[in-house]
Amino acid sequence: MVDLVTSVSLWELIKHAGSWVVNLKRASAARKEESVNALRQVILAAQKTSVYIRQINETGLKDHNTEAELSIAWTELSFKLEDLGIDALAKRCRMKGKHWANPTQFAIEELEKADIGLEKMESLANEILSEVRS
């Protein structure tokens, strides 16, 4: 199965997200809206990537155009998140973008050492969204 993880621990990401949410609650409505939109894009990118991974697993066929789209989508998302100060999640998105651009650039050990995958990124984005709305 194809997946990508980063070396930032889940605990570090949750801790960062918590302080970010506290700051966001004091932010302007426009900044909150930008943040909600970026977090929703994480969920959409994770789902789009999951669909592509399912396609690879079911057919055994890779599509370089789809991989290029995923690389660009994850990288652009990392820029948006970075601009909003969601740095830990931005780092993960940037790594996913790099991975889809060149899946062989990371050693298996690097990927196994990290503790974040698509489901966890989507779950964290949903959790942050829930906090922002409360």
Q: Is the pLDDT of residue 18 over 60?
A: no
Least confident of 8-22, 40-54, 66-80, 119-133: 8-22
Type of residue at 6: T
Rounded CA separation 34/9 (Å): 25
pTM of the predicted model as reported, rounded to 2 decimal places: 0.77
Rounded CA separation 37/31 (Å): 10
Q: Is the pLDDT of residue 116 over 70?
A: no
pLDDT of residue 43: 96
Query: Which of 40, 15, 13, 36 lies closest to 24, judged by CA?
Result: 36
| Residue-wise burial string across 85-119, b where 16 or more C-beta atoms lie within 10 A, e elsewhere | ebebbbbbbbbbbbbbeeeeebeeeebeebebbbe
Q: Is the pLDDT of residue 73 over 80?
A: yes
Domain boundaries, the chain: 29-133
